[in-house]
C-alpha cells in the first residue's frame, strides 16, 4: 500500500504532508532566517499547505508571530502555496510557564481574531480558516456561524473545525460548508473512528496534527516496530511513522512540524514511501491492535 499521491482539502489539491509551523514560532524556535529556510525547504520538497495559528508564538504577548513568519517566507517563494490558520484560542499570560490556553469562540472575538490574522498574513482572504477549539460556553453553531459570515464577506475562502468530535462536526456542517477537520492523530493517538468515517463519507480532509506524537515524538526513533520497518526500507523511523499514518485513510493529511530544513524534507519524503502489506500489518498490530 502506498501513501503517495495528492490529497484534497476542498477544491485544493495538496500533498499528503503539510508543514506545521507551531515549532517554528514557539518555545525552542529556530532563528528567523533558519525558520524561513525550513519553510522554503518544505515547499521545495513539494509541500503546498502550511498550517499555523494566531496563537503560535512564545507567549500571550507574542501572538501572530507564526503567521508573520509564514507571510515572510511566502513573500520570497515564487510558486504556489496555501495557508491554513486558526482562531478561537487565546493565550492569557506573557510567561509561558504560567499561562493558560483559553478557548474563546464568541462571534465578536472570532471576527477580531480573523481580522488580526489577515493583517499578520498580509492577505485579503485566508485560504483555510479553522475554529481552533470548541468553547464550552458558546454553542458551536454560533462559532461556526461567525466563520460562515466571514466567508460570505470574502475574508476567508474555506472553513474547517479543529479538536472536535463526530457529533460536533455534524452540528458545524449544518451551519457552514466545512471542508476540513484538524484533530490529533499519531501512532500513539488513534483518530476517533466515527469522526474519520464522517470525513471519508463527506469527502472532508482530516488534517492530523502531532502526527509523530507531539510531546511523545522523542519515542519514535526508539520504537522497535518502526525501527525494523525503517531498516527494511532504508528510511527513518519518523518517515515510516508518517507513511503508516497516511495509509490510515485517503482523507488524511499529516501536519508535520519541523525546525530544520532537513526535517521538513524528511517529512515530505514520507509521502512517497511505500509500505508492504506485511510491514503495514506489523505496524497495525503494534499501534492499532484493537482494530485488528
Q: Which residues contact 131 (CB under 8 A, 6 or more apart)?
A: 86, 87, 88, 105, 110, 140, 143, 144, 147, 159, 160, 161, 162, 172
Q: Active site residue: 56, 129, 209, 287, which one?
A: 56
3-state secondary structure (DSSP) of residue 182: strand
261 phi and psi angles, rounded to 5 deg: -55, -40
8-state DSSP, 112: H
56 is annotated as an active-site residue: yes
Are the C-beta atoms of 231 and 259 separated by less than 8 Å?
no
Q: Are strands 12-14 and 7-9 parallel, antiparallel or unpaired?
A: antiparallel
Length of the chain: 292
8-state DSSP, 236: -
Q: How many whole angstroms from its chain centre is CA 115?
A: 21
User: What cell does 187 get?
Assistant: 501512532
CA–CA separation, 82 vs 113, rounded Å?
19
CA–CA separation, 37 vs 233, rounded Å?
28
Active site residues: 56
Amino acid at each position: 500500500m502506498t501513501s503517495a499521491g495528492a490529497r484534497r482539502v476542498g477544491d485544493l489539491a495538496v500533498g499528503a504532508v503539510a508543514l506545521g509551523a507551531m515549532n517554528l514560532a514557539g518555545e525552542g524556535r529556530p532563528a528567523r532566517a533558519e525558520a524561513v529556510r525550513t519553510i522554503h525547504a518544505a515547499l521545495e520538497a513539494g509541500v503546498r499547505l502550511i498550517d499555523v495559528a494566531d496563537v503560535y508564538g512564545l507567549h500571550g504577548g507574542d501572538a501572530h508571530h507564526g503567521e508573520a513568519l509564514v507571510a515572510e517566507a511566502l513573500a520570497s517563494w515564487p510558486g504556489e502555496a496555501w495557508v491554513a490558520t486558526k482562531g478561537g484560542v487565546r493565550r492569557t499570560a506573557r510567561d509561558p510557564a504560567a499561562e493558560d490556553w483559553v478557548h474563546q469562540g464568541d462571534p465578536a472575538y472570532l471576527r477580531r481574531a480573523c481580522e488580526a490574522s489577515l493583517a499578520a498574513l498580509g492577505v485579503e482572504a485566508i485560504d483555510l480558516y479553522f475554529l481552533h477549539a470548541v468553547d464550552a460556553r458558546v454553542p458551536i453553531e454560533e462559532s461556526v456561524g461567525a466563520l460562515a459570515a466571514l466567508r460570505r464577506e470574502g475574508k476567508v475562502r474555506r472553513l474547517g473545525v479543529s479538536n472536535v468530535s463526530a457529533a460536533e462536526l455534524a452540528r458545524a456542517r449544518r451551519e457552514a460548508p466545512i471542508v476540513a477537520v484538524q484533530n490529533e492523530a499519531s501512532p500513539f493517538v488513534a483518530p476517533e473512528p466515527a469522526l474519520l468515517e464522517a470525513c471519508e463519507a463527506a469527502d472532508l480532509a482530516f488534517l492530523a496534527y502531532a502526527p509523530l506524537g507531539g510531546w511523545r515524538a522523542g519515542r519514535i526513533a526508539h520504537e522497535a516496530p518502526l525501527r525494523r520497518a525503517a531498516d527494511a526500507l532504508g528510511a527513518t523511523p519518523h518517515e515510516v511513522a508518517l507513511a503508516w499514518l497516511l495509509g490510515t485513510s485517503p482523507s488524511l493529511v499529516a501536519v508535520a512540524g519541523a525546525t530544520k530544513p532537513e526535517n521538513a524534507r524528511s517529512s515530505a519524503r514520507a509521502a512517497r514511501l511505500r509500505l508492504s502489506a506485511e510491514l503495514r500489518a506489523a505496524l497495525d498490530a503494534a499501534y492499532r491492535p484493537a482494530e485488528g
